[in-house]
Structure 1
């Protein structure tokens, strides 16, 4: 007589049937419980966001009252390296305010072509390190080329994802996002991963075009107000430390991990 045999649960022998059946049922219960938990986590994550009709520069997704802006693709990389950028943004003013020291570990989140990366690397010196994180492989390629061209050796490029910066826990003294945060498709998840990567007492800096200033000629979804930044950052347990308002068209809001 032909018997159908399961590769995991053989209940054909009468003496072994009951304990094996119970073991199989227990395993199924554990799998079901894990699936339910994973499903609950996914639902919880989804409730952080609200779906809306997309505006011309948005992705149709709201987080804490603001529509998330569409990301600038690698095809627009030349804009990041435009000659006028140094005059428009005065990066040296920002770097001076950050009080970076030799030997520090810094994360440049959304590093793009590395416009700020090499300047951060210079500040932390040979004994320091800069993690340059981006989600676009093409941008990582351009960044690596820029660092090689400039002879910068203390930069580690990291291909992140839409939901995580992929950095080791408690490894970073300061994380900075320059004109990046407003474009994150999953800001809550990414910010959670940044907080995890910060050392206790580490800082995270949001640099955004000032939404409060109508004279800043940037599309509305690509600007953020200080109030909005503070609302979102403090929701992740970060403590506001100071706001830098001396930049020409941006502001930098600094938070610290307790």
Structure 2
């Protein structure tokens, strides 16, 4: 609404109130596209010109625990970059076998919590057994869906996505739910194999460029890109912070 100074102070104030009462424009949801010709490792569904990859099944849980992962991904360096604090509530979305869940649990301590969210019950069963074996009480396994990781609204300090976002069948809906789960000042962390690096021996649809991550996160104005960590062997870590003052 445009206000013209033509009738005194009362008119100007009325304009100001009218502007404040106007409803906010709803966020525009990008459309999904389906193509018959596509990468055989993808599902033929595209989001912002990126093909979505097939989900890795629970049958490959052993691959997530491979010894080579230490050399290929340097997970200790990743966890250090997250700057976790005791008492934090963090979520490992697409947790799989809980590889990173159990690296984060000791760092947030007994007063904190790690929510391991996955859509495959078999993966969650592995996480639950590990937590019992390790006698950890700060790990919670949560069954999500393809559109909702089932995280508590406004209660999460950090959400970690390791090599999983590119497999989300509904990336818009999932990100919308994750943003809603974050506290003001909370962080959403994308860890993806670098598409820019031909030496990263991972199938193309299971890699993402930093530019593509930024493009997809830009759909959500609540998110501010605060840092990209490029020192891991095969992956980049793209970190976003939810706008708003911390309570």
Measured in 1, the distance between the counterparts of 2:135 and 2:152 equals 25
Structure 1 residue 69: Cα displacement:
0.5
Measured in 2, the distance between the counterparts of 1:60 and 1:236 equals 24
Number of the residue aligned with 2:63:
79
Measured in 2, the distance between the counterparts of 1:213 and 1:149 equals 39
Q: Secondary structure at the match of 2:130?
A: helix
- 8 Å contact from structure 2 (residues 147, 174) kept in 1: yes
Q: Secondary structure at the match of 2:190?
A: strand
Structure 1 residue 55: Cα displacement:
2.0
Number of the residue aligned with 2:226:
241
Superposed CA deviations along residues 65-118 of structure 1, whole A, max 9, x for unmatched, are 100001101111110011111221111101111111000000000000000001
Number of the residue aligned with 2:34:
51
Query: Where do 5+ consecutive residues of structure 1 fail to align?
Result: 1-43
Number of the residue aligned with 2:123:
139
Number of the residue aligned with 2:100:
116
Number of the residue aligned with 1:25:
none
Measured in 1, the distance between the counterparts of 2:100 and 2:151 equals 19
- Structure 1 stretches (4+) deviating beyond 6 angstroms? none
1:69 corresponds to 2:53: yes
1:252 corresponds to 2:243: no
Measured in 2, the distance between the counterparts of 1:253 and 1:149 equals 33
Q: Secondary structure at the match of 2:192?
A: strand
Aligned residues: 214
- 8 Å contact from structure 1 (residues 118, 152) kept in 2: no
TM-score by length of 1: 0.81
CA RMSD of aligned residues (A): 1.1
Number of the residue aligned with 2:179:
195
Q: Secondary structure at the match of 1:112?
A: coil
Measured in 1, the distance between the counterparts of 2:39 and 2:77 equals 34
Q: Secondary structure at the match of 1:138?
A: helix
Q: Secondary structure at the match of 1:60?
A: strand
Measured in 1, the distance between the counterparts of 2:127 and 2:69 equals 17
Structure 1 residue 224: Cα displacement:
0.3
Number of the residue aligned with 1:160:
144
Q: Secondary structure at the match of 2:197?
A: coil
1:128 corresponds to 2:98: no
Bigger CA radius of gyration: 1
Q: Which has the higher contact order (CA 8 A, sep 6+)?
A: 2
Structure 1 residue 206: Cα displacement:
0.1
Query: Where do 5+ consecutive residues of structure 2 fail to align?
Result: 1-27
- 8 Å contact from structure 2 (residues 186, 241) kept in 1: yes
Structure 1 residue 253: Cα displacement:
0.1
